Amino acid sequence: MNKPTLELYNHGVSLWLDNITRQMLDDGTLKRYIEELSITGLTSNPSIFDNAITNSDYYDDAIRKYGSQHLSAEALFFNLAIEDIQRAADLFRPVYDRTNGLDGFVSIEVSPLLAYDPRKTIEAAREIFDKTGRPNVFIKIPGTREGLAAIEMAISEGIPVNVTLLFSPDQYEAASEAYLRGVESRIRQGLNPDIRSVASVFVSRWDKAVAGMVSPELQNRLGITVMQKTYSSYLRFLKSTRVQRTMNFGAFPQRLLWASTGTKDPNASDVLYVKNLIAPYTINTLPEATLLAWADHGEAGPVLTDSPAETKAMLQKYASASVDVTKLGLQLQNEGADAFNKSWDHLISAIETKQQKF
């Protein structure tokens, strides 16, 4: 019998780990996840690095080593993060090569403080991508309205992009359009258009946002319903003439990634958003606890289908419960940006404290 993780991968879902620490690189945990649990990529964000660096002494020797260089706390952080990302990218390089560059990516985010400044975002994306020096690294750029211009520019310049902080179908569609414009720009310039990208749509925060506001029938179902509508948008994207034209020039279309798939409600299944979001040519990026739970007792549910009538009916039930999905999607994006900013501020403050200590 296949392991649950391998079964999911055989359904066409790439499993990425939503975590990175220097300890898991040193002790072989990440290597074991790749070899035993079918993990084919990795994502990081400010909250993940905040937890890894501030809540342990595992980075202290490296911080001490950089002390003589008199770096700012932000510059020091990116040195530490890029070292980890490079090591992870090297572990995933065989996956990247085996899949012709489709899988095997690791992601590192620009400073979340730049979410509303496209000029500084693209400058940071260039610098981070150059410093990592690995082809299988995604630069994470928030899919805010302002971030869309940076996404288009990054793709047009040949920088692989993980579009983050997407919540609603509308936000996903805007991000896929920005990616597509970047690819079409490369085609017009006679450049290789095959610049890889994923669009990360956050799932669990939808249900957390309406917890206690809707009937038991609707509890823990909004995230999946919104993702079903997003999946319909994704299928339209893949079937569109513009995308198929870019494919004929050699592009591999942007993939849809399910993000924030750890269950927030302790009374719900700990693999809720894995079992119900199975679709080929998608990615599920799992927190470590969710990955281990799926490996232990995951059972694949039915494959997602394009079911607009069913999705519309479910969304109408939420509308009847005074849930404005469009408004809530924008609220969640703003709250997500604010949460990353707070993690970033906490991380930089903690590094400054460690610098002073050493």
Q: CA distances (Å), 317 to each of 229, 303, 330, in order?
A: 15, 23, 20
Give catalytic status of residue 239 as yes or no: no
Secondary structure class of 305 (helix, strand, coil) = coil
Torsion over CA of 125, 128, 132 and 138, rounded to 10 degrees?
A: -30
Eight-class DSSP state of 278: B
The secondary structure element, H or E, covering residue 198 is strand 197-202
Q: Do 202 and 142 touch, CB atoms closer than 8 A?
A: no
**And the tokens for 196?**
């890889």
Eight-class DSSP state of 20: -
Beta strands (DSSP E) in 216-276 are: 255-259
**And the tokens for 352?**
């400054």
- Gap between the Cα atoms of 67 and 344, Å rounded: 21
Which of 120, 140, 264, 312 is flagged as catalytic?
Answer: 140
Active site residues: 140
